[in-house]
């Protein structure tokens, strides 16, 4: 019965564990050789033959025949009187091979073999998972949501390996249930108490880059290079691309005919607004492109301090800033410049500079508005109350009072 259980154990590991035949043979041989060395003092003279497909195991101990009076080591030597019981024709100096059967092992030894085998298999699997996914860092994988918790999601890959997608690495509009399919990039792999932890990410810039590689053949083939990517996951992203082949329009190729290529990426990212722009080393032009769809009137650069003063028509300021301030924030990250937006007051003579209201509005409050690019009355009135509260450190009541004062100026 114990023999049968042991063989069934081998078959079970072969059937359900992702282990190659050669590797399984090596693990089995190591486990038995370790036990035999402990039992006999040495296993150098023992041959172990494992047949995973048939589920059987053969162990042969090889000993040299010596005269009874010169027997010193019963593990490597066998007395002539014992050898002729096996085969009458044996002589001194010949080698005898005897099969060691499972029945020769005690219950405790078999239990030890089973436990060591399980431990070795688990150790191999952990190491295999770690090495496999260490090589996949930066690659997109597909899986199925197995468990949803408050702080993270457990995902199973096609081989049933457990992967983790933390809440911090999920797009805020992500909402998964058990059984849902999911795509994410492998962010990092770490060992936690000797257990591999594979961390996925959907907020990483690398995830967006890999999506472009999948959707745009020219990017995958290297004809178009992605120079920079910045994201506010689930809200907006900007990606700068260029091509060394003048015949290829990098932006057009990435967007596709009628947006066919980029639409799939946008859907995957929960309708994240993606701006694809042509990369250039001309800082002024790069900033102008990064602020798209807003159009600027003029720009002044401070290369030393990496600051840019951008002037534009009043009706373009809200476009430059964007919903939630994401457009100007990402433009700054993409270009590496701190961008200050100003209204070209020469164009709108009816607008009033905020500094004109210092008798009614505290200077520190005016500074709060200036810090977000609102330096005139109409630039403040162009934004709604919720956006002004979100982008400044001002209370809602304070913002409402400022708006009341500014509106009164034009009434």
Token pair of 17 as six digits: 């564990």
Do the beta carbons of residue 239 and residue 231 sit within 8 Å? no
What band does 411 get if pLDDT is binned at 50, 70 and 90? Answer: low
Lowest mean pLDDT among 49-63, 210-224, 266-280: 49-63
Overall size of the chain counted in residues: 411
∠ CA(176), CA(182), CA(185), 5° rounding?
125
Q: Does domain 143-203 have CATH number 2.40.50.140?
A: yes
Which of these, 316, 278, 275, 325, lies nearest to 297 by C-alpha position?
316
Residue 193 is inside which H or E element, if any?
A: none
In whole angstroms, give the CA distance from residue 26 to residue 16: 17
Angle at the Cα of 67 from the Cα atoms of 64 and 69, rounded to 5 degrees: 125
Q: Is the peptide bond before 347 cis (omega within 30 degrees of 0)?
A: no
Q: Which CATH architecture has domain 2-132?
A: 2-Layer Sandwich (3.30)
DSSP for residue 33: H
More confident residue, 270 or 19: 270
Could you tell me the pTM of the whole model? 0.66
Residue 135 has pLDDT above 90, yes or no: yes
What does the pLDDT average to over 197-201?
96
pLDDT value of residue 2? 43
Q: Kindly report the average pLDDT of the chain as a whole number.
A: 86
- Average pLDDT on 15-25 reads 64
Residues 204-279: name the CATH superfamily: K homology (KH) domain (3.30.300.20)
Read out DSSP for 94-124?
A: -EEEEEEPGGGS-HHHHHHHHHHHHHHHHHH
pLDDT value at residue 157: 93
Per-residue pLDDT averaged across 138-166, rounded?
94
What is the pLDDT confidence band of residue 263, given thresholds at 50, 70 and 90?
very high
Rounded distance between C-alpha atoms, residue 125 and residue 148, angstroms: 24
**Buried b vs exposed e over 200-237: b needs ≥16 C-beta within 10 Å?**
bbbbbbbbbbbbbbebbebbeeebbebbbbbbbbbbbb
Which residues, in sequence order, are CB contacts of 335 under 8 Å at separation 6+? Answer: 283, 286, 287, 290, 308
Mean pLDDT over 394-401 rounds to 91
- CA angle in degrees (0–180, nearest 5) for 294-170-322: 15
Nearest 5°: phi and psi at 162?
-80, 125
Residue 347 main-chain phi, psi, to 5 deg:
-85, -30
Which residue in the block uniquely carries the two structure tokens 């450190």?
393
* The pLDDT of residue 4 is above 80: no
203-225 pLDDT, tens digit each: 999 999 999 999 999 999 999 99
d(CA 292, CA 42): 76
Report for 141-150, 289-298, 353-362: range of highest mean pLDDT: 141-150
Which pLDDT value is given to residue 5? 45
Q: Are 179 and 163 in contact (CB under 8 A)?
A: no
138/382: higher pLDDT: 138
- Tell me: pLDDT of 3 over 50: no
Whether the CA torsion 246, 247, 253, 257 is positive or negative: it is positive
Query: Mean of the pLDDT values across residues 253-279?
Result: 92
Question: What does the domain layout of the chain look like in residue ranges?
Answer: 2-132, 143-203, 204-279
Burial (Cβ within 10 Å: 0-12, 13-18, ≥19) of residue 133 = buried
What is the chain's alpha carbon radius of gyration, rounded to the nearest angstrom? 36
């Amino acid at each position: 019965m114990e023999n049968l259980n042991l063989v069934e154990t081998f078959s079970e590991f072969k059937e359900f564990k992702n282990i190659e035949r050669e590797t399984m043979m090596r693990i089995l041989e190591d486990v038995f050789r370790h036990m035999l060395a402990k039992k006999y003092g040495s296993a150098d003279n023992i041959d172990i033959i494992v047949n995973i497909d048939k589920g059987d195991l053969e162990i042969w101990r090889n000993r040299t025949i010596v005269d009874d009076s010169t027997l010193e080591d019963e593990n490597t030597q066998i007395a002539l009187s014992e050898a002729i019981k096996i085969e009458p024709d044996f002589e001194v100096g010949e080698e005898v091979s005897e099969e060691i059967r499972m029945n020769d092992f005690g219950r405790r030894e078999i239990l030890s073999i089973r436990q060591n085998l399980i431990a070795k298999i688990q150790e191999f699997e952990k190491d295999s998972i770690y090495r496999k996914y260490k090589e996949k860092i930066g690659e997109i994988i597909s899986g199925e949501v197995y468990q949803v918790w408050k702080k993270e999601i457990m995902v199973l890959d096609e081989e049933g390996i457990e992967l983790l997608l933390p809440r911090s690495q999920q797009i805020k509009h992500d909402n998964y249930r058990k059984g849902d399919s999911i795509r994410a990039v492998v962010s990092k792999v770490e060992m936690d108490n000797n257990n591999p932890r594979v961390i996925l990410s959907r907020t990483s810039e690398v995830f967006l880059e890999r999506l472009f590689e999948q959707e745009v053949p020219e990017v995958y083939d290297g004809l178009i290079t992605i120079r920079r990517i910045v994201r506010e996951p689930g809200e907006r992203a900007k990606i700068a691309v260029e091509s060394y082949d003048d015949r290829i329009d990098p932006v057009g190729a990435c967007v596709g005919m009628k947006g066919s290529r980029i639409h799939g990426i946008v859907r995957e990212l929960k309708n994240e607004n993606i701006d694809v722009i042509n990369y250039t080393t001309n800082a002024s032009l790069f900033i102008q492109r990064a602020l798209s769809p807003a159009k600027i009137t003029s720009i002044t650069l401070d290369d030393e301090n990496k600051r840019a003063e951008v002037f534009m028509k009043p009706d373009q300021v809200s476009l430059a800033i964007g919903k939630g301030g994401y457009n100007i924030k990402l433009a700054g990250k993409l270009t590496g410049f701190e961008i200050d937006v100003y209204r070209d007051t020469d164009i709108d003579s009816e607008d009033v500079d905020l500094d004109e209201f210092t008798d009614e509005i505290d200077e520190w409050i005016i500074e709060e508005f200036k810090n977000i690019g609102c330096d005139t009355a109409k630039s403040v009135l162009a934004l709604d109350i919720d956006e002004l509260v979100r982008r400044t450190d001002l209370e809602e009541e304070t913002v409402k009072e400022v708006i009341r004062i500014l509106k009164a100026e034009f009434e």
